[in-house]
Amino acid sequence: MSALTIRDNGLTIPISFDDIVRYHGRTSIAGAAHAFKAMERAFPLLSPEQPPDRYLVVVTSGFPGDGARDAFEMVTRAVTGDRYSVAPELAGSGVPEAPGGRFFFRLRYATTVVDLALRDGLVPEEFVEVACKEAPSEDDAQHAQRLKEELAARLLGLAPEEVYDADVISGRPSVDFGGTPA
């Protein structure tokens, strides 16, 4: 499996999905896999010459999942640095539904913004139905965890271009977390 590469104080640091699982755990492993694939897709587009500096990446998530939040935090330190926000309204209605939002991410680095939307057909309808249950039974919770593990494995087995479509916006003024010019 590939690793993400990020810069931190001049050093290049590889971070694998296993590293993210050690940080987050397995509770929301599918969300962690989504964020990993999103970063894997976006980083070369945001900073083609070298890995991005972790402290300069700004992340807006289309859904509030703990797994995605923790993956972005581990790699970019965006949560701690107040460069992480959740804004489901940024995703168009054509972006697949996620628990609490849509599978959409916006990453900004310098004057480049990359909007990422999950490709259709990668998340079974059953996943969203089961993952969104407010008071699941023990059997439902176990079933949901199996679906999360299966989805994570499926996503991680694909090239990032097969998971997320990317719209690159370069050379425009930076945007704030809400998507408006800064």
Taking every pair of C-alpha atoms in the chain, what is the biggest distance, in angstroms?
Answer: 50
Burial (CB < 10 A; 0-12, 13-18, 19+), residue 170, is exposed
* CATH class of the domain whose range is 3-169: alpha beta
Instruction: Return the sign of the alpha-carbon dihedral for residues 42, 48, 52, 57.
Output: negative
- Per domain, the residue ranges of the chain are 3-169
pLDDT for 33-61, tens place per residue?
Answer: 999 999 999 999 999 999 999 999 999 99
pLDDT for 90-108, tens place per residue?
Answer: 998 899 988 889 999 999 9
Angle at 13 between CA 10 and CA 19, to 5 degrees: 155
- What predicted TM-score, i.e. pTM, was given to this entire model? 0.90
Number of H helices, E strands in the chain: 6, 9
- Give the amino acid at 33: A
Please state, in angstroms and rounded to a whole number, the distance separating the CA atoms of residues 182 and 176.
5
pLDDT for 128-171, tens place per residue?
Answer: 777 767 777 888 889 889 999 999 999 999 999 999 999 998 76
Residue 174 has what pLDDT? 45
Please state, in angstroms and rounded to a whole number, the distance separating the CA atoms of residues 1 and 146.
21
Look at strands 164-169 and 104-109 and give their pairing.
unpaired
Q: How far is CA 167 from CA 46, 105, 107, in A?
A: 11, 11, 11
